[in-house]
């Protein structure tokens, strides 16, 4: 009977070992399956790993948003690096400053004349009567245009009386000195007096009157700005090449007080452009 008992013991040991191995195998299989489920799954249609983040966290409409154009970072000077040469000027570029000499045979009408832009020494234009029978004269090239404007205004019932055109240097100097002395008599220093005077009258050689390019126009009414003549000029003067040289809202640019009677010849093309763009001569020439 003893051999039978020994065999039973061996059988029990083997059964226990088999059970232990089976348990270990079961644990390994369950662990493998669990870790496999935790790995990100592949999207079989795109081959891209699918994001497990809840899609509801994305901003609404973001999927349809257009990505903004990327720009290169600025360098240490705060400037964007140029990858290609710039070949076109901006459409809003400021006009290049154009200082025209009065002796320029083509652009003489655009000559800038003032304290900072005096006429050449001893400059003397060829003169003609502004209108037939008048003692007031203009540069001959300007007088032709003034007569045309005068006649057109007359047909419209407006009389553009030529009051003051070309000034000799002595006349201009006398007018300037008289006003300068007035301010000095009022307690202004010479520097202050000059600054105030030049808002109204310019020194000899610095006035458009010395070049014969402008006309001070009056009418029967002393309140010229409220006359039909002034309104006619505002509506039509540019068609004959004249502009209001010292507009009411441009004093900071021109340096001269509003003068509704002072009309300057600049040429028909320039006058129309200046009127269209609400520019004074300084702005048109790009020197401000």
Q: Does the pLDDT value for residue 61 go beyond 70?
A: no
CA–CA distance, 207 with 43 (Å, rounded to integer): 85
Per-residue confidence (pLDDT) for residue 221, from 0 to 100: 81
Cα–Cα nearest to 150, from 180, 124, 130, 175: 130
Average pLDDT over residues 38-47: 42
Residue at token pair 């009677």: 261
pLDDT at 55 over 50: no
Query: All domains of the chain, ordered by start, with CATH?
Result: 124-268 (3.30.1380.10)
Distance CA 135, CA 43 (A): 98
pLDDT tier for residue 15 given thresholds of 50, 70 and 90: low
Asked whether residue 68 carries a pLDDT value surpassing 60, the answer given is: no
Contact 243, 212 (CB under 8 A): no
Asked if 229 contacts 160 with a C-beta cutoff of 8 angstroms, the reply is yes
So what's the pLDDT on residue 4?
Answer: 47
Determine the pLDDT at residue 220.
79
pLDDT tens, 230-252? 999 999 999 999 999 999 999 99
Stretch 147-173: mean pLDDT, rounded?
98
The mean of the pLDDT values for the chain is 80
Range 60-89 average pLDDT: 37
- pLDDT of residue 58 exceeding 80: no
pTM: 0.67
Phi, psi of 45, rounded to the nearest 5 degrees: -85, -25
> Which string of b and e fits 208-234 if b means at least 16 CB within 10 Å?
bbbbbbbbbbbbeeeebeebebbebbe
Lowest mean pLDDT among 40-44, 159-163, 248-252, 257-261: 40-44
Average pLDDT over residues 101-112: 95
Question: What is the rounded CA–CA span in Å between residue 267 and residue 243?
Answer: 9
């Amino acid at each position: 009977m003893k051999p039978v008992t020994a065999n039973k013991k061996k059988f029990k040991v083997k059964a226990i070992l088999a059970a232990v191995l089976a348990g270990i195998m079961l644990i390994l299989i369950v662990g493998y399956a669990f870790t496999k489920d935790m790995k990100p799954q592949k999207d079989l249609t795109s081959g891209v790993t699918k994001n497990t983040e809840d899609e509801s966290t994305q901003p609404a409409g973001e999927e349809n948003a257009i990505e903004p154009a990327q720009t290169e970072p600025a360098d240490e000077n705060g400037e964007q690096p140029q990858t290609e040469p710039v070949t076109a000027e901006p459409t809003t570029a400021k006009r290049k400053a154009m200082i025209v000499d009065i002796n320029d045979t083509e652009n003489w009408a655009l000559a800038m004349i003032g304290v900072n832009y005096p006429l050449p020494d001893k400059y003397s234009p060829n003169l003609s009567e502004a209108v037939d029978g008048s003692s007031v004269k203009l540069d001959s090239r300007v007088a032709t245009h003034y007569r045309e404007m005068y006649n057109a205004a007359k047909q419209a019932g407006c009389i553009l009386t030529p009051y003051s055109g070309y000034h000799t240097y002595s006349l201009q100097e006398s007018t300037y000195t008289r006003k300068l002395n007035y301010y000095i008599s009022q307690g202004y220093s010479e520097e202050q007096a000059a600054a105030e005077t030049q808002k109204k009258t310019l020194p000899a050689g610095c006035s458009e009157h010395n070049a014969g390019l402008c006309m001070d126009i009056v009418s029967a009414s002393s309140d010229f700005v409220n006359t039909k003549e002034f309104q006619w000029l505002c509506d039509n003067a540019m068609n004959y090449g004249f502009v209001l040289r010292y507009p009411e809202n441009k004093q900071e640019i021109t340096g001269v007080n509003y003068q509704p009677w002072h009309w300057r010849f600049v040429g028909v093309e320039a006058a129309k452009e200046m009127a269209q763009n609400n520019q004074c001569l300084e702005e048109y020439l790009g020197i401000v």
